[in-house]
Amino acid sequence: MMRINLLLKCIITTIIVSGTIIPAGNAQGIQFEESTFNEALAKARQQKKLLFIDCYTTWCGPCKMLSKMVFPNDTAGAFFNKHFINLKMDMEKGEGKTLSKTFRITGYPTLLFINPENQEIVYRVCGAHPNVQWLVGEAQKAVDPNQNLPGLSARYTENKQDAPTVLRYLNGLGAASMTHERDSVLHLYLSSLSDENRYSEDNWQIIESQVNEPYSTGFEYLLKYAPGYRQSIGEEKVNEKIETVYKYAVSRFIRRKRIPAEQFPQPMFDRLVSLLKEYNGKNASFYRAELNLVDLVQKGDYKGVMDALDGTEKDPAFSDDKRFYFTWVNLNYLSECKDPVIINRGLAWAEKLKPYLSTPAMKRSWLLMKSALYAAKGDSETEKALKEEAEKMK
C-alpha cells in the first residue's frame, strides 16, 4: 500500500511568485544593466569581468522567484557586482530571441556566464533555487578555473585518457546542458578504451553517471560490454543501471493523452520497442506493456487499451502497485475516447481502484478522473456531481 501511495504522492512543486520581472536595481542586490547585449559585453571587456545573463521569460515561475527573492539579496549582490557585469534578457522578445538560438537556451531560467572576449560560455546553470547560497555557489564555479568549462576543457585536452579528468569534464558539460558536446566526448573516450583497462571502477563510474539514454552510443557500448562489467563490477549494479535507463525512457512516453502525430518521436519510440524486445531483465514485461499501451493510444485504439488492461489481471508480471499504476494511466488516456461501451469498461475498472485510495488527495484525483470519463460519454450531470464532490476535498 505504501508503494501505491507513493505513485500519486510524487508531486513536483514549483514556486510561483506573482508579479512581473523587474531589474533588481537597488544597492543591496545584483545590479543589472539596462543595456543591449553588445553594450554589456563591451562593459565587461573594459572592466575585465565575465558577463552574467539571466535568461528568463515572463511566464516562468522560477524566474520570477529568482527576481523577487534571490537577486535582491545583499550576499548575492556583493559577489555578482564584484565579479560580473549583469544583464537580464527576456528570451521571447527583441534580441533575446536571437540570443536564445545562439546559446541554445531550452529551459528557463538559464543563467549564463560568458567570456566577453570570445563570447564563449564559461559556465551555465539551468533551473532555480530560493537559497541565495546556492546561487553564489554556482557563480563561484564560473570564476574557478578548476570548475568552469574552460578550465575543465584545458585539463581534458591535456589528458584525454585519464578517467577522473574525463568524468569532471563530462559533469561540467552536463551541468551546462551541453548534451551534444558531452555525448561526443563520452563516445570518443569509450571508443578509445582497450580490453586491458575497459573494466576499471573509474570507467564504470563514467558509464553509471553519463549513460542515461537508450538511444545513445554510450548505451550501445554498455550493452555490448555488459558481460565483462558484470564480472568486474557486479551483476546487480550493471543490471540495475540497464533497467534504470529503460525505466526512465519508457516513463517519458507516458503523457496521459495522445500526442499529435507530428510531435510524436516515432524513431525513438521504435528504437525503444526494438531494444525492449531483446531485454529480459527486471520489469521487462511491464515496460513492454507500457509501450504497447502508448502505441494503442497513438493509434486511437481504445478497445485495445481496455483489452490490454483486462490482460493484466492474471499476468504475474503485474504486482498490485504496478497494476494500480497501469490502470490509472489507462483510465486517464480513456477520457479521450468517445465510445460509451468502452468508457463503461473503464468505469468498471475505476471501481477496482477504490481499495487503494488511502488519502483524500488520491480520492480527489480518482473522482476527477471519473468525472472526465463521464464527460467523455456525455453524462454532464454525473460529471458535475463528481467534480463538486472532488472540490469539497480540497
Do 106 and 177 fall into the same domain? Answer: no
Report pLDDT for 89: 95
Q: Which domain holds residue 135?
A: 37-144
**To the nearest 10°, the Cα dihedral for 276, 277, 280, 283?**
50
Judge whether 258 and 336 are in contact, CB under 8 Å: yes
| Domain end among 120, 144, 168 | 144
Which regions in the chain score pLDDT beneath 50?
1-27
| Domain end among 163, 183, 209 | 209
Please give the tally of structural domains in the chain: 2
277 located within any domain? no
Do 121 and 158 fall into the same domain? Answer: no
9, 3, 14: which is closest to 364 by C-alpha? Answer: 9
CATH number at residue 61: 3.40.30.10
Kindly give the interhelix angle for 201-210 and 163-175, rounded to the nearest 10 degrees: 10
Do 134 and 158 fall into the same domain? Answer: no
| Domain end among 160, 189, 209 | 209
Q: Which residue's C-alpha cell is 568524468?
A: 167
In this predicted model, what pLDDT tens digit does every residue of 143-201 receive, in sequence order?
Answer: 999 899 999 999 999 999 999 999 999 998 988 778 889 999 999 999 999 988 999 99
338 located within any domain? no
357 located within any domain? no
Q: Tell me how far apart the alpha carbons of residues 133 and 287 are, in angstroms, rounded to a whole number.
A: 41
Using a 10 angstrom Cβ sphere, with 0-12 exposed, 13-18 middle and 19 or more buried, the burial of residue 64 is buried
Do 128 and 154 fall into the same domain? Answer: no
In this predicted model, what pLDDT tens digit does every residue of 215-245 receive, in sequence order?
Answer: 999 999 999 999 999 999 999 999 999 999 9
Per-state percent for the chain, helix, strand, coil, to nearest 5? 60, 5, 35
Q: How distant, in Å, are the alpha carbons of 131, 166, 275, 287, 385 from that of 170? A: 26, 6, 26, 29, 54
